[in-house]
Amino acid sequence: MKKIVVVMMLYFSLTAVSQEREATILFNDSTSVKGFAEVKKEKIYFKVSPTAEVSEWSYDIAYGLIFSGYGYSEKYVYVTPGKYAKKPKLMEVIEEGKVNLYKESSLGYNVGIGVSASKSGIGAGPTLSYDFSTVYYVQRKNEAYATDITFSFKNNTLKYFSDCKALVEKIKKREFIKKDIVDIVYYYNDYCGEPEEEN
């Protein structure tokens, strides 16, 4: 039962983006408009009022959007995930600074045949498994595309943050590990990114 509850919570957190909510759409020319929006298949569906006609927007004109309400906000922007990506994807903004941190989450499921044992014996039947994944991307303002630092975590973080000796040492000593990606970017933005003083 606990597994079902956890999966449902993850599902609702992911589908919240695809439900119409109060939002501000951000355009590439730095203008913005308040209204209501939802996201489906990397496109923004926006209207200025609950009864207005819906318009469809993509990365060619829109930069992203900010969902608001209930005392909090979530910002999503179009990000090009690597130099081989065919087009940008909408990702949640976790941190903005010298290095921006973006999060891409997905929930997948697999249907298969499994074997189970019970008091009445052993039997085969359908199984359903869920796969929730989060990938973090980092990007500096002068970079054309974002870098996945979730995959091959240690190699990618050591290379990407190589201009900050203190942070590199913390990663090498395992003071920061894969689960600390958000804290790594906070640390970099707070303490690194400027020319280091010579000893």
Q: What does the pLDDT average to over 158-180?
A: 97
Confidence label for 169 from pLDDT (cuts 50, 70 and 90): very high
Across 167-195, average pLDDT: 93
Instruction: Give the confidence band of 157 by pLDDT, cuts at 50, 70, 90.
Output: very high
| Higher per-residue pLDDT: 118 or 177 | 177
Q: What are 129-138's pLDDT values in tens digits? A: 566 789 999 9
* DSSP codes of every residue in 69-104: ETTEEEEEEEE--STT-SS-EEEEEEE-SSEEEEEE
Does residue 36 have a pLDDT over 90? Answer: yes
Q: Side by side, which strands form the sheet with 43-47?
A: 55-57, 43-47, 32-40, 21-27, 62-69, 72-79, 89-95, 99-118, 121-140, 147-148
Q: Does 11 have pLDDT greater than 50? A: no
Tokens in use for 56? 């469809």
Average pLDDT over the chain reads: 84
Domain ranges of the chain: 2-148, 153-199
Mean pLDDT highest for which of 25-34, 64-73, 78-87, 117-126? 25-34
**Confidence label for 118 from pLDDT (cuts 50, 70 and 90):** low
